[in-house]
Amino acid sequence: MFPLAIEAMVAAASQHFGNPSGAHRLARDARRLIDDARQTVADALGVDLGEVVFTSGGTEADNLAVLGMAAVSGGVTMCSAVEHHAVLDPVVRGGGVLVSVGATGVVDRSALAALVKEHQPAVVSLMLANNEVGAITDLEAASNVVHSRSPATVVHTDAVQAMPWLPVHELASTADLISISAHKFGGPKGVGALAVRRGAVSLRARSIGGGQERERRGGTQNVAGIVSMAAALAHNGAEREHTNDRVIRLRDRLEGELLDQIPDALATLPPKTLRLPNIVHLCLPGIEVEALLVLLEQDDVYASAGSSCSSGAMEPSHVLAAMGIDRDLAFAAVRLSLGWCSTEAEVDHALRVIPNAVARLRNHRAKAAV
Amino acid sequence: MRVLVAMSGGVDSSVAAGLLVHAGHEVVGVTMKLWGGDSDTGCCSVSDVDDARRVAQQLGIDFFVFNFGDDFNRHVVDPYVASHAAGDTPNPCIECNRHLKFDRFLERATELGFDTVATGHHARVAIAPSGSLRVARGADALKDQSYVLSMLTQAELRRVVFPVGHLTKHEVRQEAATLGLRTATKPDSQDVCFITSTKGRSGFLSTRIPLTPGRLVDHQTGEQVGTVPAVQLVTIGQRKGLGLAGDDEPRYAVDVDVPNGIVSVGPAELLLTTDVRLGTLAWSDGVVEGPVVVQCSAHGAPVPATLEMAVGDDGSRQPTAVVRFAAAQRKIAPGQTVAFYDTSAPDQVVGSGIAR
C-alpha cells in the first residue's frame, strides 16, 4: 500500500466513524468523505459521480456487473475465455457463452461478432488487461463490434489489473460497466468499485436491504477502505507515467536476461503484443512451476503461477489453455509481477536466483530420468 | 534434517509434523491435492486441507499444497476402474502409496532439497540383521499400516520416516491434544478417498464403466440361484449382498467371470485354497524365497507360507511368485495385495505382490 493510503485509512477509521447512511453530523461527515472519494474514483474512470458503486472489491464488482445485468432481462451473458474467475464463473454457471481468444490473449473479434449477432446477449464482459499474462484488449474496437451487432447489449470491462497502469478513463470510455479493486493500485484489500453508466443503469442489486449506493449495493460502506482507495487512486494517477517508465525498464531487463540465461525459456505472449508494464510471463519447459515456486521463495523471490483453487492447490491456467498453450507447458509457466516499489536491486536478486533454481530442477529431472 | 511432511489434515500426520518440529528438525508441511471430484473423506476436501494448513500454522511451519491430480488419475483412479472392469478387487490406497506418496511426492521432496519425507503412517522403519532397512509394524497392532507400505524398497526407505509409528493411536491423540492441534479428536478416515459415502463404489464406477448384471450360479449344480445388479462389484469370498441370506448353509462368491456375467457361488470350503499366484512383486531388499509369514488384507491375520518364484507363467516378462500356505485358507481375490514378513523377525516386511 502507498503510505498515504495507509494514513488516509487510519485517519478515516479513527476520526470519521459515523455511519454514512445516518442523519446526524457524524454521519454526514462520513458521507462527505465517501462522496469525495466517489468523485475521485469517478474522475479516474471517466464517469459521473452518481455512476460509482462502491463494492467489497473486484470480485463483487464483476459479479454485480454480470449477474446484475443478467437479472434485468434474463438474457444471455457472454465473456472472453480468459476472464478472471469473478466474471467467468457467473457467466459459465448461468449457462453463458465464452468467446475464444488468440495467441495474444485477447478476444477474437470475428468470433465475438458472430456470437454477439447470434445470441444478442444482455451483457458482454471483456477484461481491459489480463491478470495473468498482461495482454491489453482494444476495448473501443471490441465495443464497436458488440454494439454494431447488438445495440442493446451492455459492455462490461474488468479493469482491475489495468487500473494501476493504464488511462482507464480513456481506454474504457466505450464500456457501460467498469470494475476496479483498490489493492491493485496501492490501496487496501477488500474494497473496490463498479462504474455503472448509460445503458446499464437498470442493473439489479445483488445484495439488498439498506438501499445504499443508490439501491445497487445494500450494506454499510467501508468508509476507511473507500477513503484509502481514493487516496491511492489519486496518487497512482499522478505518478503513473513516471512509474510506468521505470517499471517497463525493469521488466524489460528482467525478461530479457531471463530469456538469455535460461535455455529454452519462452515468453508466453508473442513479441510486440500490447501488454501491461509490470508482468513477465514465461514458459520454462522441463520444470514444474509448483516446485519452482517453493525454491524461489526459499530465496525470497515470490512468484506465481496459474490460479489457485479453493484448497490452495495450483490449477493449470485457463488463460493459457484458452491461448492454445498445452497442459504440460502450462504447468511450466511462471508469472513474475513488478510493482511501483520494485527496484533494480530486486531485479538483480531475481536474476541471480531464478536461473539457478530452474537449472537445479532440470538437473534433478535429468538425473532421475537416467 | 530437512523434512517434508505429507499432511492429510488428519491427526496422525498432524502429530508426525509436531513431533518432528519438537525434535528440532526443519519441517515443511504439504497436502497433496490428489482428487478433484466429489470427496467426503481422505485428504482432498477443502476442509481437510484447511485443517492441515491450520495445524501447520499452529506449529509455525511453512505449508504448501501440491497438485498431483493428474498423477493420481493416471496411477490410482484409472487402474482402479480398469481393475473393477476386469472383475478384480483393487486396493487403491496401496497404489497411492506406491506411485504418489513414495514416488511422486518423494521425488518432489528430493528435488527441493529435503533429506527425508515423513507421513503419519502407523509403521516403523527397522534395520534388519543384514543392515538393510525394512518396513516394520507400528506399535499399535490395531492400527498397523505396514501392509499398505509393503511395496517400499531400500531406495524409498532411506528417505522416509514414520514419526508416529512407535505410538498407539491413543497416544497420538493425546499428543495432538497436548500440542493443542485442532485435529486431536478428528475421526479417522475410513474409506477410499475418492468414493463418497452418498454415491458409494457403484455410484463412482457406474459413471466410468458399464456395470452389468450377472447371474448367480451354483458352483456344483450349474443351476442359476439368483442375480446381482453389477458383476464388476462382486468380490471373491463375498456373502453379503448376494441375496442368498436364507440359505441353510452359507454360500459365497467363489468365482467371478465378468465377460460371461457369471458369479459362481458355493459353500465356504470351496473358498479354501493352498496357494496364490502373485505379480507386481516388490522386495524390500532383494528376492526372498522359502518360508515367510504372509498377510493378505490390511488387518488380516498373518499366516505361515512358503514363497517360490514362478517361471513360464503367462508369457509376459513380469516375474511372478507363488505363495503356498502352510494350511488351506480363504482365496485371495485378484487385485488384492499379499505382504510378506520375515519368519525370524515377524514384524518386518520383506516384500509384497498382487494376487492374479
pLDDT score for A314: 80
Chain B contact present for A344, CB below 8 A: no
Mean pLDDT of B251-270: 91
Q: Look up cell 485517519; give the residue.
A: A11
Q: Look up cell 473501443; give the residue.
A: A140
pLDDT higher than threshold 70 for residue B276: yes
Return the C-alpha cell found at B204.
463412482
Chain B contact present for A368, CB below 8 A: yes
Chain B contact present for A141, CB below 8 A: no
Q: What angle do CA A180, A186, A192 make, to 5 degrees?
A: 25
d(CA A2, CA A189): 12
pLDDT score for B246: 72
Average pLDDT in chain A: 95
Cβ contact, residue pair B67, A314, below 8 Å: yes
Chain B contact present for A370, CB below 8 A: no
Cβ contact, residue pair B65, A313, below 8 Å: yes
In this complex, the residue of B31, B33, B111 whose CB is nearest that of residue A291 is: B111
d(CA A259, CA A245): 21
pLDDT score for A206: 93
Cβ contact, residue pair A314, B65, below 8 Å: yes
In this complex, the residue of A295, A313, A364 whose CB is nearest that of residue B67 is: A313
Residues of A whose CB is below 8 A from B69: 313
Q: Known catalytic residues of B?
A: 96, 193
Confidence band (pLDDT; 50, 70, 90) for B250? Answer: confident
pLDDT score for A307: 67
Closest-CA residue to A275 (of A332, A331, A338) = A338
pLDDT higher than threshold 90 for residue B104: yes
In this complex, the residue of B49, B108, B112 whose CB is nearest that of residue A311 is: B49
- Measured over the CA atoms of residue A325, residue A326, residue A330 and residue A332, the dihedral's sign is negative
A 273-332 near B (Cβ less than 8 A): 288, 290-291, 294-295, 309-315
pLDDT score for B161: 98
Residues of B whose CB is below 8 A from A303: none
pLDDT higher than threshold 90 for residue A158: yes
pLDDT score for B39: 58
Confidence band (pLDDT; 50, 70, 90) for B309? Answer: very high
pLDDT score for B38: 63
pLDDT digits (tens, 9 = 90+) for B253-262: 999 999 999 9
pLDDT digits (tens, 9 = 90+) for B170-202: 999 999 999 999 999 998 887 788 888 888 888
CB atoms under 10 Å from CB of B132, counted, come to 16
CA A295 to chain centre: 27
d(CA A353, CA A306): 21
Cβ contact, residue pair A365, B49, below 8 Å: no
Confidence band (pLDDT; 50, 70, 90) for B339? Answer: very high
User: What's the maximum distance between 2 C-alpha atoms anywhere in chain B?
Assistant: 68
Cβ contact, residue pair B112, A291, below 8 Å: yes
Higher confidence at residue B312 or residue A48? A48
Least confident residue range of A51-55, B66-70, B337-341: B66-70
Average pLDDT in chain B: 92
Residues of A whose CB is below 8 A from B113: 295
pLDDT higher than threshold 80 for residue B221: yes
- Phi, psi angles (nearest 5°) of residue B350: -115, -10
Concatenate the DSSP letters of all residues of B218-260 into one string.
Answer: ETTT--EEEEES-GGG--TT--TTSS-TT-SS--EEEEEETTT
Supply the ipTM of this predicted assembly: 0.90
Q: Residue B9's closest chain A neighbor by CA?
A: A311
Could you tell me if A268 and A283 are in contact, meaning their C-beta atoms sit under 8 angstroms apart?
A: yes
Q: How far is B69 from chain A (nearest CA, A)?
A: 9
pLDDT higher than threshold 70 for residue B40: no
d(CA A48, CA A42): 6
Residues of B whose CB is below 8 A from A360: 111
Q: How far is A357 from chain B (nearest CA, A)?
A: 10
Q: Residue B30's closest chain A neighbor by CA?
A: A313
Could you tell me if A311 and A164 are in contact, meaning their C-beta atoms sit under 8 angstroms apart?
A: no
pLDDT higher than threshold 70 for residue A57: yes
Mean pLDDT of A257-265: 98
pLDDT score for B243: 81
pTM here is: 0.91
Confidence band (pLDDT; 50, 70, 90) for A305? Answer: confident
Cβ contact, residue pair A311, B110, below 8 Å: no
Concatenate the DSSP letters of all residues of B6-46 into one string.
Answer: E--SSHHHHHHHHHHHHTT-EEEEEEEE---S--SSTT-SH
Burial class (CB in 10 A: 0-12, 13-18, 19+), B317: exposed
pLDDT score for A293: 95
Confidence band (pLDDT; 50, 70, 90) for A244? Answer: very high
Chain B contact present for A32, CB below 8 A: no
Q: What percentage of chain B carries pLDDT values higher than 90?
A: 75
Cβ contact, residue pair B112, A294, below 8 Å: yes
Least confident residue range of A268-282, A294-308, B127-141, B281-295: A294-308
Confidence band (pLDDT; 50, 70, 90) for A300? Answer: very high
Q: What percentage of chain B carries pLDDT values higher than 70?
A: 96
pLDDT score for A308: 66
